[in-house]
Amino acid sequence: MTHLIPETSGKMILCSVITYELSKRLGKKAAQEEFHKQALSTLDVPGEKVLPAALVVRRLRRLSEVALLHDAGGTSIGHARSRAFSVAARGARNGKVDIWISCDDDTQASQDTLNHLVRSIDPDTPQIVIVPCWLRQDTPVVNITLDPDAPIDRVSASGARLKRACYGGFGIVAVSRAALVELENTWRDLTFVDDDGVERIGIFCEYLKEGWWFREDYAFFSRVPKHVRIEALLTGVTDHDGKVLRLENADHHPMIPVPAPFTRRDTEPPPAPTEDEPDAAIKCGVCSKPYELVLRQSCGCAVQPEELCEYCRTVPCTCVPCGQEGGWAGPDGNGRGVCDFPAGHDGGHSWEPEPEAAAPPSRLVV
């Protein structure tokens, strides 16, 4: 019999799961009912057919209070993960979520492993813990990349070993309350209006950089500020689609190669204006960097002065580093973000063409 562990019983966990395959097979409503029935059961019946993620929810409920966020209709993984992040971040901001745990429907971890995971997270510390697992491919590769510049391991209160990581897949990942709040505040310029009319943050939005496609998990970790601690849990056992990994050996197996342009420096706050910087300097609202004389942005686009929106100074370009279109910031750095058509725009930007009119020219600087 598994008993509650005092060190973890006070933490409020939000566990999010996306069940695309189950929903495709049963339909959205039936999939919701079936998954909740499996996840909220208190009994483990030998031989029963249970989704791995449902077992994770059951085991987490033995450790602490758990709220379940089940997405039975998600077809775009980046969209679905961003939706879950936004719900978790709002709960963290309101003091209702201490840890967000994202779990893929075909991934599970043992009871002891999840105990180590929960006890390795301090809600007040900006941190993320990845629980490694095998990738689903013929060549054995673990879904993490460890940080070669951080050789010293950390040992948690439960005796688990953790090592600094650069990146990892989202099979099972835990994010602290402090990290959720900071990421939400940092990436408000990724705000989008979801299908239900609610504004959320697309922190898993994919993008291209220097010829590399940053899929949703790369995109997320590239947006994590460098001072937020990312670690891999290296004590326990995981099972991804039937492939079992002993975490004690995870750092001895081949790991995911990181794209050449991958860096977390992109997420650092912009430097404060210097005395040499003109007071009237116009900055890219996405990059927060001053334009040059020809208004050339750091993202590689150049526009003429008349192409700036006369209302909000937004420019018609897409920034390569973060994939956001337009935006602006004043000399003091305030107002950073994508233009949301505030009052005075009459439904559009000044650089957008009128009906049957030609768009103002812009050119891409190669």
DSSP assignment of 56-104: HHHHHHTTSEEEEEEESS--SHHHHHHHHHHHHHHHHHTT--SEEEEEE
CA distance 209 to 321: 6
What's the first-to-final CA gap in the chain, in angstroms?
A: 64
- Mean of the pLDDT values across residues 123-151? 92
CA distance 224 to 231: 12
pLDDT of residue 62: 94
Span 6-267 CATH architecture: Alpha-Beta Complex (3.90)
- Mean of the pLDDT values across residues 260-286? 52
Measuring CA to CA, which residue among 110, 113, 108, 128 is closest to residue 159? 113
CA distance 314 to 339: 7
Question: In the 8-state DSSP scheme, what is residue 159?
Answer: S
pLDDT > 90? residue 4? no
Q: Which two tokens stand for residue 96?
A: 């209702």
pLDDT > 70? residue 22? yes
pLDDT of residue 148: 85
Query: Where are the extended beta strands (E) located within the chain?
Result: 12-18, 65-71, 99-104, 107-109, 127-130, 144-146, 154-155, 161-168, 172-176, 191-193, 199-201, 207-209, 212-214, 229-233, 237-240, 243-246, 283-284, 301-302, 328-329, 363-364
Measuring CA to CA, which residue among 312, 316, 343, 304 is closest to residue 328? 312
- Check: CB of residue 303 under 8 Å from CB of residue 362: yes
- Mean of the pLDDT values across residues 164-171? 94
Provide the whole-model pTM. 0.71
State the span(s) of the chain assigned CATH 3.90.550: 6-267
Torsion sign over Cα 211, 215, 218, 223: positive
Residue of higher predicted confidence among 366 and 195: 195
pLDDT of residue 74: 73
Average pLDDT, the chain: 77
- Mean of the pLDDT values across residues 93-109? 95
CA distance 78 to 225: 19
- Check: CB of residue 238 under 8 Å from CB of residue 107: yes
Q: Which two tokens stand for residue 71?
A: 């997405």
pLDDT of residue 9: 56
Q: How confident is the model at residue 247 (pLDDT cuts 50, 70, 90)?
A: very high
pLDDT digits 0-9 by tens, 312-366:
455 544 333 333 444 443 334 343 344 443 433 444 444 343 433 333 333 222 2
pLDDT > 60? residue 28? yes
28-32, 119-123, 140-144: range with lowest mean pLDDT:
28-32
pLDDT of residue 137: 84
**Could you give the 3-state DSSP secondary structure of residue 141?**
coil
pLDDT > 90: what percent of the chain? 49
pLDDT digits 0-9 by tens, 275-309:
554 444 444 444 454 444 333 333 344 444 444 54
Phi, psi (degrees; rounded to nearest 5) at 9: -70, -15
Measuring CA to CA, which residue among 288, 68, 255 is closest to residue 187? 288
**Could you give the 3-state DSSP secondary structure of residue 113?**
helix
pLDDT > 70? residue 266? no
CA distance 157 to 349: 55
pLDDT > 50? residue 214? yes
- Mean of the pLDDT values across residues 89-98? 95
41-45, 52-56, 89-93, 110-114: range with lowest mean pLDDT:
41-45
pLDDT > 60? residue 196? yes
- Number of residues written out for the chain: 366
Parallel, antiparallel, or unpaired: how do β-strands 107-109 and 144-146 relate? unpaired
- Mean of the pLDDT values across residues 213-220? 92
54-58, 258-262, 271-275: range with lowest mean pLDDT:
271-275
- Mean of the pLDDT values across residues 140-165? 90
pLDDT > 70: what percent of the chain? 69
Q: How confident is the model at residue 274 (pLDDT cuts 50, 70, 90)?
A: low
pLDDT digits 0-9 by tens, 52-87:
999 999 999 999 999 999 998 777 899 999 999 999
